[in-house]
């Protein structure tokens, strides 16, 4: 049986962070009712590349039921109250204060429904100078300093996926699971608060500690490690790049003897310690490029793997699509069936069944009928 079967999650959600969180709960068997406004979650219209549907939406909204509500309308607000009276989890990522102004603030809901677990996802938290600021993903990447250490010497860059949103969604999922576990012992729900800024700042702890303890800002090195060498991308004879990582002296020796076929380089005074290799990076890189130019990428990777050298291909997304390790799953969506990359967690005794992505308001009538006569707890 799916681990969260028989749990009811009500999610007043939009965009990425909250939908990711609730989709993971749905994957685990929870019943997730997605509250959408008239016109729907705006992520439905981010693009139309998946048979007319948005890529983000079909990835993050499988297994949910969609109902359209106007929570400013008294009848719809009452219906939401009836849903929450039966819910185990309430998630919301509206603009700061919007849920509370509509009568659905988390602290008041937990007083009214003591077993309810609430999860508020915001950009910068609910207090402080930034609390009322909009927090789209790239803005938070910039504010947390992530952009400053991403890219190359020529300038900062953006991480190519919505990493701050995704971190917040996974943090919310983790917090809710802890809340559910705690409720099993205490019988009382808890409040979970997650912010995009807080999650990304947490992941920035290593550059933060580097800055605090050295007074220096970590540099941008593109596809090369800032301190370990050789650790980066180098072209093969066909122009395709291979990343290698040398972490210790044994690996350095094998690279010299088994790949370069130049055993004397192992004890070369320019390269015979990690610090010397780092200090003489330009010479080292030039020498590696000259040696790697003897083989096309696939043959080069074969040589590296035979020598026990950690390596990886610098793939394009089209190569990810064909990757031999990639696993996919399929399910229905409003514009037809879709195949996506499988979730990364596998369970030995649980074969997951992935339910479809809902059309806007697909379940409105059924949910209204089901919860029409439910009495609200007082």
Q: Furthest-apart CA pair in the chain: how many Å?
A: 83
Q: Which long-range contacts (CB under 8 A, 24 or more apart) does 362-367 make?
A: 362/65, 362/66, 363/33, 363/65, 363/66, 363/67, 364/66, 364/67, 364/68, 366/65, 367/33, 367/65, 367/67, 367/83
Main-chain dihedrals φ then ψ at residue 204, nearest 5 degrees: -95, 15
* Domains, the chain, with CATH or none: 8-204+325-370 (3.40.50.10540), 231-313 (3.30.1540.10)
Contact 41, 13 (CB under 8 A): yes
Catalytic residue list contains 225: yes
Residues 177, 140: Cα–Cα separation, whole Å: 25
Smallest CA-to-CA distance from 153 within 207, 217, 218, 221 is with: 221
Q: Of residues 213, 221, 225, 323, which has the active-site annotation?
A: 225
Residues 131, 125: Cα–Cα separation, whole Å: 6
Task: Please give the chain's pLDDT, 378 residues, in tens.
Answer: 578 999 999 999 999 999 999 999 999 999 999 999 999 999 999 999 999 999 999 999 999 999 999 999 999 999 999 999 999 999 999 888 888 888 999 999 999 999 999 999 999 998 999 998 989 999 999 999 999 999 988 999 999 999 999 999 999 999 999 999 999 999 999 999 999 999 999 999 999 999 999 998 888 889 988 888 999 999 999 999 999 999 999 999 999 999 999 999 999 999 989 989 989 999 999 999 999 999 999 999 999 999 999 999 999 999 999 999 999 999 999 999 999 999 999 888 777 889 999 999 999 999 999 998 645 444
């Amino acid at each position: 049986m799916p681990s969260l079967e028989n749990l009811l999650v009500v999610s007043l959600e939009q965009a990425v962070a909250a939908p990711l969180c609730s989709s993971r709960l749905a994957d685990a068997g929870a019943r997730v009712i997605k509250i959408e406004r008239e016109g729907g979650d705006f992520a439905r219209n981010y693009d139309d590349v998946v048979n007319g549907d948005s890529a983000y939406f079909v990835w993050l909204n499988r297994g949910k039921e969609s109902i359209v509500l106007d929570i400013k309308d008294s009848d719809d607000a009452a219906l939401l109250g009836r849903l929450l009276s039966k819910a185990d989890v309430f998630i919301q990522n509206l603009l700061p204060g919007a849920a509370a102004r509509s009568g659905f603030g988390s602290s008041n809901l937990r007083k009214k429904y003591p077993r309810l677990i609430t999860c508020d996802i915001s950009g910068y938290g609910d207090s402080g100078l930034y609390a009322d600021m909009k927090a789209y993903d790239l803005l938070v990447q910039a504010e947390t300093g992530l952009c400053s250490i991403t890219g190359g010497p020529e300038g900062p860059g953006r991480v190519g996926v919505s990493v701050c949103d995704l971190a917040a969604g996974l943090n919310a999922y983790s917090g809710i699971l802890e809340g559910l576990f705690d409720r099993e012992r205490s019988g009382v729900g808890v409040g979970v608060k997650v912010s995009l800024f807080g999650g990304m700042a947490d992941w920035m702890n290593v550059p933060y500690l580097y800055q605090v303890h050295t007074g220096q800002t970590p540099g941008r090195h593109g596809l090369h490690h800032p301190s370990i060498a050789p650790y980066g991308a180098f072209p093969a004879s066909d122009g395709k790049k291979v990343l290698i990582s040398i972490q210790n002296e044994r690996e350095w020796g094998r690279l010299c003897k088994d790949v370069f076929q130049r055993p004397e380089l192992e004890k070369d005074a320019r390269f015979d310690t990690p610090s010397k290799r780092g200090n003489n990076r330009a010479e080292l890189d030039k020498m590696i490029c000259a040696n790697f130019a003897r083989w096309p990428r696939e043959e080069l990777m074969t040589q590296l793997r035979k020598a026990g050298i950690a390596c990886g291909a610098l793939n394009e997304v089209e190569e990810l699509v064909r990757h031999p390790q990639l696993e996919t799953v399929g399910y229905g969506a409003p514009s037809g069936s879709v195949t996506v990359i499988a979730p990364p967690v596998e369970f030995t005794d649980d074969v997951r069944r992935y339910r479809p992505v809902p059309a806007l308001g697909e379940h409105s009538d059924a949910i209204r009928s089901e919860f029409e006569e439910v009495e609200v707890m007082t």
